[in-house]
Structure 1
Amino acid sequence: MLKFVAFLLIAWLVVSVLGLLIEGLLWLTFIGLVLFLATAGYLWFKRKTGSNAA
C-alpha cells in the first residue's frame, strides 16, 4: 500500500510540473497539487491512526 501511495504522490507531482511547463495547462497544475495534497493527507491520517490494513 505504501508503494502505491508513493507512486501516486510522484504521479501528481509530475502532472503538476507538466501543467507548469506546457503553456495553457495551468489548470493541470492546480489539479495535480490538490490530488497531491489529498493523497499526502490520506497517508498521514492512515499512519497517525496506526491502521496498517492492506
Structure 2
Amino acid sequence: MLHYAVVFFVIALIAAVFGFGGIAAGAAEIAKVLFVVFLVMAVASFVINLVKGR
C-alpha cells in the first residue's frame, strides 16, 4: 500500500514538472488516500498484535 502511495506521488511530481496540473492533482489525491489507508492499517495491525501478545 505504501509502495503505491509513493508511486502516485512520483507520478504527481513528474506531471507537475511537465505542466499537467489536473493529472498531478489527481495523482496527489490518490497518493494521500493510499497513505491514509496505509496508516490506518498499520495502526490496526500494531493494536491487534499488542492485544494478542498478552
TM-score by length of 2: 0.70
Q: 1:6 offset after TM fit, Å?
A: 2.9
Greater relative contact order, per chain length (Cα 8 Å cut-off, separation 6+): 2
1:33, 1:8 → 2: CA distance?
Answer: 11
Mark the structure with the bigger radius of gyration. 2
4+ residue segments displaced more than 3 Å: none
Match among 9, 15, 21 for residue 13 of structure 1: 9
Q: Which residue of 2 aligns with 1:36?
A: 31
Q: What are the ranges of 5 or more consecutive residues in structure 1 without an aligned counterpart? A: none
Structure 2 runs not aligned, ≥5 long: 50-54
Aligned-pair RMSD on alpha carbons? Answer: 1.8
**Percent identity of equivalent pairs:** 4
Query: How many residues are matched?
Result: 47
